[in-house]
């Protein structure tokens, strides 16, 4: 009698798992989407097209920089979705021939200027995303110093090591966030 009860209990448990698993997976994806929101798709798509950047990479940068909060401001004074410093933002405004009084917190301009700057770094560092992302986080001066130091670069073009732990973690987080966005929103990145 006990064997039949155990078998019956296992069968019920397996049936419950089979029935509940799709709901649990959906709930997990929904929770993950709450952690990795996707907003400003039109602005991201436009900047992606204009500057020939992967949309998922832009999403990864925005998530790491501001968690998609347009009013984000760092203790270092970086502002907006893509956390641009006023100095860098001003330089980009000049290159894009935009008015000096453009609002750094305006999502359209912040994403567009941040994408322009990211593309500029990508081109400057010969199409190497890791180096471009390191420069976006730590600045071109630091990255150029690292590239000229044999402790951090063997060829002067690629980084074998990033000496700032925060920057190394940032580059990794952007790449991970990029993959999460691809997984959660596949229709956006086809």
Q: Higher confidence at residue 22 or residue 29?
A: 29
Q: Mean of the pLDDT values across residues 47-72?
A: 97
Look up residue 164 and give its two tokens.
Answer: 């700032």
Q: Mean of the pLDDT values across residues 53-75?
A: 97
Among candidate residues 65, 166, 183, 188, the one labeled active-site is: 65
The confidence score (pLDDT) of residue 10 equals 73
Q: Mean of the pLDDT values across residues 47-62?
A: 97
Q: Cα 145 to the chain's mean position, in Å?
A: 25
The confidence score (pLDDT) of residue 150 equals 97
Check if 183 is active-site: no
The confidence score (pLDDT) of residue 117 equals 98
The confidence score (pLDDT) of residue 32 equals 81
pLDDT at 7 over 90: no
Q: How confident is the model at residue 31 (pLDDT cuts 50, 70, 90)?
A: confident
The model's pLDDT over 109-125, given as tens digits with 9 standing for 90+, comes to 999 999 999 999 999 99
**Adjacent-strand bridge partners of 183:** none
Rg from Cα positions in the chain? 22
> How far are the Cα atoms of 46, 59, 122, 151, 165 from residue 116, in angstroms, in the given order?
12, 14, 10, 30, 26
d(CA 58, CA 66): 12
The confidence score (pLDDT) of residue 33 equals 79
d(CA 84, CA 123): 19
The DSSP output letter for 157 is: S
pLDDT at 2 over 90: no
Q: How confident is the model at residue 25 (pLDDT cuts 50, 70, 90)?
A: very low
Interacting residues of 157 by C-beta distance below 8 A, sequence separation 6+: 125, 126, 128, 131, 147
The confidence score (pLDDT) of residue 24 equals 47
Mean pLDDT of the chain: 90
Q: How confident is the model at residue 3 (pLDDT cuts 50, 70, 90)?
A: low
Q: What DSSP string describes 84-98?
A: B-HHHHHHHHHHTT-
Choice among 17-21, 71-75, 154-158 with the minimum mean pLDDT: 17-21
């Amino acid at each position: 009698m006990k064997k039949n009860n155990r078998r019956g209990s296992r069968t019920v448990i397996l049936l419950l798992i089979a029935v509940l698993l799709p709901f649990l997976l959906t709930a997990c994806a929904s929770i993950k989407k709450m952690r990795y929101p996707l907003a400003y798709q039109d602005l991201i798509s436009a900047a992606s097209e204009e500057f020939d950047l992967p949309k998922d990479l832009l999403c990864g940068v925005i998530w790491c920089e501001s968690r998609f909060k347009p009013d984000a401001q760092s203790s270092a004074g970086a502002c907006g979705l893509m956390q641009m410093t006023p100095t860098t933002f001003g330089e980009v405004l000049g290159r894009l021939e935009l008015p000096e009084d453009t609002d750094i917190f305006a999502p359209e301009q912040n994403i567009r200027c941040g994408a322009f700057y990211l593309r500029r770094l990508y081109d400057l560092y010969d199409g190497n995303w890791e180096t471009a992302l390191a420069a976006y986080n730590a600045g071109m001066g630091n990255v150029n110093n690292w590239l000229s130091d044999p402790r951090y670069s063997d060829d002067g073009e690629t980084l074998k090591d990033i000496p700032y732990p925060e920057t190394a973690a940032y580059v990794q987080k952007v790449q991970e966030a990029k993959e999460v966005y691809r997984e959660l929103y596949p229709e956006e990145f086809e």
